[in-house]
């Protein structure tokens, strides 16, 4: 594909500054404390609100010459995922992530509309003390957001006084655009984009990390109206969205928040395309303009998932393929038909299911209506305990494969029962999250916050990790121990405990002769599906209890690295020190056939029974998607994924030669971006273990 330059030279210059990490390196280390700044003996809800008030009053304001979108999260503690306010020398309240707030309804109402809802709710006079405190605290949070807005107005007024010519005109345009928002609903596309960013960035400033959600659905109507009335051109709208994207780099360059998992793991995910609650496709000019911006600026701070289906516009599928082919891992795709079926099958109403987004990674939720958390369960380790391979376990004799499998399922059931007992108690901590609760439906009506079952849907999702490794191991054991009787179970267990020492011939036989999950092999895929079906059957016994929904998912999110400590060697031929499968992808190196075979194995599973989702992670060599023919081939992969009823898929277009060179010479590859799981990151900001995880993924051509 030829490089297309649509954006202005100034926007490219601003983008270059953003990607340099200048702003993230300059975050303010401001110590804000409640001590002496908050009344004594007030409720926790009101104390929380005072935290938000102090942040709004004291956080530094940054407005750059020429930028069209303003409102920066400038505090260093916020980038550490903390509410940046202390009391008695400690952070006073925990922050919240893994959610997508109701920016859609907040944008339509404005803060004044939310304030009206609060006042009307208070007039009913049926709230208990906790409910009254919550609503009073919500009101204080809105006042704090207005204070932060007003400080931007005053800063712009001061800049206008001290500026001339073009710079002054830009400041005046920005000031005019923010006069009425976000307090009032926006009346133009430019106001809507700025209002959305103000709401989003204020949450981040206060330490809360939310996804943005369906941005093209939120902004598309405003742009359509303005284009029709001649108030804005497509070129001008593209520039506004580009500046929105550049603002997402506020924390780029900040070091210390995410350990080894990269520099862009801030959960600010975006959803594009798909149908609305009424079943109409919402793909619009905003959808394509954002794809233009991503293609040109290479910003990965807003990981994007595009909702595709069998009815998606051909133009959209082609543009997704074009942008994916450039690498960077910024775009991923949902098959919305499978996702919606999974949600409806679980019990969500159809209209609600159609509005799905993600939680900041790729787990499925209903934006603005969901309090969410998930719980990882290493189902591969459970198998190793069943076999007597894991530490502090004793090998047992199983006279048949079915007896072994029955014992495994029993242990899996025990683990899920344990999860359910934990889920019964969670989301009842009562810890205030008032700023979050303000943008979650039903919290105002119920007079209960995000952590008090105030959301319409409180979700605690059990996530199986290592499920395909468990299935692969069981497939090998069934074949070699019970069917062919090539090796005794006791001998195999001993080999696994000894990390395959002295059994290299057997290990190589397994690695080279047995087809595992990811190769469109019926025996292997059937065994993995059996484990999945039993996991779903067991979790399905308690879909909801004590107000907590429990939709299952499958994930690892990099835990395959840390899980190595407790895991031993695997029966499908991998040594203990090797990280095994990520999410629902094949064990690294085991998928020896085509990319189509991988997708077929993945789609052989009953994915519509996974309402919280799972991911297929793929890596393609750049030569395979080069030119028009390469893009067409990638377009075919996307269509096959939809046709075969996949769920979620992301693709890295990169070759190992580049990745290995980036390990040796990181200074040459500062901008090299890769998809990790639900987020993207610059490769050189990953630690060696995470880098190796990306390298180890099978490279397809």
Which residue(s) pair with 2 in the sheet? Answer: none
d(CA 438, CA 106): 9
pLDDT (0 to 100) of residue 354: 98
Quick check: 1 pLDDT over 70?
A: no
Distance CA 462, CA 382 (A): 15
Q: What tens digit of pLDDT does each residue of 494-517 get?
A: 999 999 999 999 999 999 999 999
Rounded distance between C-alpha atoms, residue 624 and residue 620, angstroms: 7
Dist CA 115 CA 113 (whole Å): 5
Distances (CA, A) of 34 to 61, 106, 148, 421: 21, 29, 18, 36
Residue 134 has a pLDDT of 97
212-223 tens-digit pLDDT: 999 999 999 999
Spatial separation of the C-alpha atoms in residues 306 and 318, rounded to whole Å: 12
Q: By percentage, how much of the chain surpasses pLDDT 90?
A: 87
Token reading at 292: 């233009």
For residue 214, the model assigns a pLDDT of: 98
Q: Percent of the chain, pLDDT > 70?
A: 99
pLDDT at 28 over 60: yes
pLDDT at 258 over 60: no
C-alpha atoms less than 13 angstroms from C-alpha of 529 in its C-beta half-sphere: 18
Phi (first) and psi of residue 111, to 5 degrees: -60, -30
pLDDT tens-place string over residues 515-536: 999 999 999 999 999 999 999 9
Residue 442 pLDDT class (50, 70, 90 cuts) = very high
CA distances from 182 to 108, 247, 249, 457, 517 (A): 10, 17, 22, 26, 50
What is the pLDDT averaged over residues 316-330? 94
The DSSP result for 621-679, as a single string, is -GGGG-HHHHHHHHHHHHHHHHHTT--EEEEEE--HHHHHHHHH-GGG-TT-EEE-SSS
The tokens describing 299, both together, are: 């910003």
What gap in Å lies between CA 419 and CA 413, rounded to an integer?
10
CA distance 600 to 610: 17
Average pLDDT estimate for 171-179: 97
Mean pLDDT of the chain: 94
Are 110 and 191 in contact, with CB atoms under 8 Å apart?
no
Q: How confident is the model at residue 2 (pLDDT cuts 50, 70, 90)?
A: low
Strand pairing class (213-214; 553-554):
unpaired
What's the average model confidence in pLDDT over 416-425?
A: 95
Q: Is 402 exposed, middle or buried (0-12, 13-18, 19+ CB in 10 A)?
A: exposed
Who contacts 189 (Cβ-Cβ below 8 Å, separation ≥6)? 219, 222, 223, 225, 226, 231, 232, 237, 240
Q: Answer whether the bond into residue 342 is a cis peptide, omega within 30°.
A: no
Checking if the pLDDT of 123 tops 80, the result is yes
Separation of alpha carbons 662 and 569, rounded Å:
30
Counting every residue written for the chain, the total comes to 701
Residue 699: burial class (beta carbons within 10 Å; 0-12, 13-18, 19+): middle
> If you average pLDDT over residues 172-177, what whole number do you get?
97
pLDDT given at position 259:
60
**How many Cβ atoms are within 10 Å of 10's Cβ, its own excluded?**
16
pLDDT digits (tens, 9 = 90+) for 539-562: 999 999 999 999 999 999 889 999
Structure tokens at 296: 């040109």
This prediction has a pTM of 0.95
Q: What's the mean pLDDT in 297-316?
A: 95
Cβ(17)–Cβ(47) below 8 Å? no
For residue 4, what are the CA distances in angstroms to 285, 292, 313, 327?
Answer: 18, 9, 22, 16
Calculate mean pLDDT across residues 282-301: 96
For the ranges 313-322, 459-468, 499-508, 662-671, which has the lowest average pLDDT? 662-671
């Amino acid at each position: 594909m030829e490089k297309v330059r649509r954006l202005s030279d100034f926007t490219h210059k601003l983008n270059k500054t953003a990607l340099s990490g200048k702003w993230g390196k300059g975050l303010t280390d401001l110590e804000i404390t409640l001590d002496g700044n908050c009344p004594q003996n007030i409720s926790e809800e009101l104390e929380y609100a005072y935290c938000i008030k102090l942040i709004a009053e004291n956080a530094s304001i940054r407005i750059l010459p020429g930028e069209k979108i303003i409102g920066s999260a400038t505090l260093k503690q916020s980038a550490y995922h903390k509410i940046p306010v202390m009391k008695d020398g400690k952070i006073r309240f925990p922050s919240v992530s893994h959610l997508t707030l109701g920016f859609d309804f907040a944008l339509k109402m404005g803060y004044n509309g939310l304030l009206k809802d609060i006042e009307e709710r208070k007039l009913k006079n049926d709230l208990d003390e906790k409910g009254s405190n919550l609503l009073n605290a919500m009101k204080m949070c809105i006042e704090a957001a207005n204070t932060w807005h007003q400080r931007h107005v005053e800063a712009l007024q001061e800049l206008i006084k001290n500026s001339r010519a073009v710079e002054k005109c830009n400041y005046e345009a920005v000031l005019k655009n923010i006069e009425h928002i976000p307090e009032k609903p926006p009346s133009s596309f430019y106001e809507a984009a700025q209002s959305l960013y103000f709401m989003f960035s204020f949450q981040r400033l206060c330490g809360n990390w939310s996804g943005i959600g369906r941005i093209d659905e939120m902004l598309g109507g405003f742009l359509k109206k303005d284009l029709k009335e001649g108030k804005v051109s497509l070129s001008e709208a593209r520039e506004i969205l580009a500046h929105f994207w550049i603002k997402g780099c506020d924390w780029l360059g900040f070091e210390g928040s995410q350990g080894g998992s990269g520099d862009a793991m801030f959960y600010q995910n975006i959803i594009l395309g798909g149908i609305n609650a009424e079943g109409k496709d919402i793909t619009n000019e905003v959808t394509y303009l954002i794809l233009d911006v991503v293609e040109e600026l290479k910003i990965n701070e807003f990981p994007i998932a595009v909702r595709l289906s069998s009815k998606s516009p051909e133009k959209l599928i082609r543009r997704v393929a074009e942008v994916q082919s450039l690498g960077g891992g910024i775009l991923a795709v949902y098959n919305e038909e499978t996702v919606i079926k999974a949600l409806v099958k679980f019990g969500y109403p159809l209209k609600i299911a159609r509005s799905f987004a993600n939680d900041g990674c790729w787990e499925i939720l209903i934006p603005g209506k969901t309090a969410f958390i998930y719980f990882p369960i290493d189902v591969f380790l459970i198998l190793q305990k069943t076999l007597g391979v894991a530490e502090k376990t004793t090998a047992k004799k199983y006279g048949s494969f079915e007896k072994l499998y029955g014992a495994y399922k029993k242990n899996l059931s025990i683990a899920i029962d344990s999860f359910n007992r934990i889920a019964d108690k969670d989301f009842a901590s009562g810890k205030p999250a008032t700023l979050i609760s303000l943008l979650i439906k039903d919290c105002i009506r119920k007079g209960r916050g995000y952590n008090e079952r105030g959301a319409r849907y409180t979700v605690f999702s059990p996530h199986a990790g290592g499920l395909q490794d468990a299935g692969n191991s069981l497939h090998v054991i069934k074949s070699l121990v019970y069917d062919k009787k090539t090796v005794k179970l006791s001998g195999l267990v001993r080999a696994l405990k000894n990390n395959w020492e002295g059994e290299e011939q057997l290990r190589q036989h397994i690695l080279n002769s047995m087809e595992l999950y990811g190769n469109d092999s019926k025996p292997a895929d059937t065994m993995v599906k059996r484990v999945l079906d039993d996991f779903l059957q067991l979790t399905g016994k308690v879909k909801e209890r004590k107000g907590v929904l429990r939709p299952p998912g499958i994930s690892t999110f990099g835990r395959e690295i840390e899980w190595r400590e407790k895991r031993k060697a695997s029966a499908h031929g991998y040594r203990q020190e090797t990280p095994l499968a990520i999410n629902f992808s094949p064990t690294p190196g085991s998928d020896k056939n085509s990319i189509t075979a991988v997708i077929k194995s993945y789609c052989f599973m009953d994915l519509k029974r996974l309402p919280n989702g799972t991911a297929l992670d793929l890596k393609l060599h750049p030569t395979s998607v080069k030119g028009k023919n390469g893009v067409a081939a990638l377009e075919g992969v996307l269509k096959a994924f939809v046709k075969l009823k996949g769920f979620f898929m992301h693709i890295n277009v990169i070759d190992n030669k580049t990745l290995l060179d980036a390990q040796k010479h990181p200074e040459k590859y500062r901008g090299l971006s890769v998809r990790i799981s639900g987020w993207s990151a610059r490769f050189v900001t990953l630690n060696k273990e995470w880098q190796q995880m990306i390298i180890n993924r099978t490279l397809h051509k």
